[in-house]
Every structure is written in C-alpha cells, then in structure tokens.
Amino acid sequence: MKAFYLLQWISRWEERALTALPISVICVLIVTILISIEIGYRTGLRRRARAAHLGESKAIETSVFGLMGLLIAFTFAGAAVRFDNRRMLVAEEANAIGTAYLRLDLLPRESQPALREDFRAYLLSRLAVTRDIPNMEAVNADLKKSSILQHKVWHEAVEAVKGTSPATQMLVLPALNAMIDITTVRTVSMISHLPFLVLVLLWITILISSFLTGYSISAFGARDWLSAIIFAIAVSCATYVTLDYEYPRVGFIRADPADQALIETLERME
C-alpha cells in the first residue's frame, strides 16, 4: 500500500507538469484566431481599395457565425455527457469489484487468500490504467495485465465453487462476470471521442469566422484590437474547455477524483 500511495503522489506531480499543455493550447488558439482576423482585415482593405462601394454580406457572416456557435454548443454538450458517463462508470466498476470481493466469503476458506490477493493486484492494475494516461504504451500494458488477472481470478473462482451449493455459484460467478464486463465498457468509453472530422470542421469554421470578423472590421478603417482580442479569447476558451471535457485525464478538468471510489474499495480489502 505504501508503494501505491507513493505512485499516486508521483502522478500528482506529473499532472502539475502537464498544466503547461492546456495553457499552450489556449495561447496557440488565440494567436491563430488573431492571425485569421488580421488576414481578413487586410483582405477587406485591399478589396475596398479596389471597389470603394463594396457592400457587406451580413447574411453570409450570420450563417457562418451561427454554424460555428452550433458546432461549439453540440461538441461541448457531447463532451460533457461523455465526461459524466466516464465518472459514473468508475463508480460502477468500484461497486462491481467491491461486490465480487465480498462474495468471496461464500467460497471455501482455503481458496480465499489467493483470490483476495489477486483481487488487490487486479484493482491496482485498474487504477494504473487511468494513472498512466496519456502514455498509451503503458496504458496498453496495464490493460493487458488486467486481462491476465481477470482470467486468473475467474479460473480460480470456478475451481473454488465446484462442490458448493447452486446458490453460492449463482451469487459468486455473476458478480465476477459483472466485474469483468464493466472493464470493456470503461475501455470503450476511454477511447470514445469526437470524430476527428468533426474537430477539423469546427476548427475550419472558427478560422472562417475569424476571417470574416477581420473583414468586417476593415469597413471601419482602423483596427479594433479590443473586439478582436475579446473574440479570440472567448472562442479559444470555449474550444479549449470542450477539448478538456473530451480528454479529462490531461488538462484542467479532471476525472481523477472519481478514482477515489476505487481507492476506497482497495482500502477496504485490507
């Protein structure tokens, strides 16, 4: 257990180091949007220099800005739903493991110590899966280890229930099956994200909207930096929060507190 808490402490320092990543992402978004606004502004100046009475197409601007708003809203809502689902699945897995562990009391006494030790190793491997994100090589190794321990626990439990009453078998084996099944659901939820094409479409729409913002500012002659910066910050923050919701193991929005349910389950195994 001391080694486990040491790993938890180390991982917290690693998370602090990763805070530089979201700040960098926000800065890159803001700079890119401001560049797009500047390009739109200069394009508008050149076009108006060639055609003094060049009109403005408010309908196009309204349509593009509306599309950008809808994309941000829908992607944000979808990411928030997936974030909540991931946290609830952690609680469900903690309950499934805890229930299966308690029902080991129904097995013959001589088979319990080995199963309990394997349960503790299994739960540590499950905690390691999310702790090692975003190192996917380590995550895959943790998933493989969890799978091996699943098969080991299952075979040990099947051997242990032989000769026991049907009631015991109906209590122990379905609980183990539920514990194993939830890992598949959690793995799928972990890799389920917004389609890449949707993110590309969102980014293109933001760039076009930024361009049109600069184009509209050119009609007034002087640059309106205050409006441009406010627009860039607002859109960048909304986009970043959406991405942060989508990847809650790296960034400011964290799903890590939900892991406390698994840690408490591990503590109860002592």
The pLDDT score that the predictor gives to residue 20 is: 59
The pLDDT score that the predictor gives to residue 228 is: 86
pTM strictly above 0.75:
yes
- Which tokens hold the place of 29? 């978004």
Q: Chain centroid to CA 9: how far?
A: 21
CA 46 – CA 28 distance, rounded (Å): 27
CA 32 – CA 233 distance, rounded (Å): 11
The pLDDT score that the predictor gives to residue 247 is: 86
Burial-class residue 229 by CB neighbours within 10 Å (0-12, 13-18, 19+). middle
Q: Where are the domains of the chain?
A: 24-47+56-268
Provide block-wise average pLDDT over 10 residues at a time, the chain (270 residues). 42 49 80 91 79 63 87 91 92 94 91 92 91 84 92 92 87 92 90 86 92 83 82 90 85 83 87
CA 217 – CA 61 distance, rounded (Å): 12
The pLDDT score that the predictor gives to residue 196 is: 86
Cis check: omega of the bond before 248, within 30 degrees of 0: no
φ/ψ of residue 229, rounded to 5: -65, -40
The pLDDT score that the predictor gives to residue 116 is: 92
In 10 A of CB 262, how many CB atoms? 20
Please name the amino acid found at residue 215.
Y
The pLDDT score that the predictor gives to residue 54 is: 55
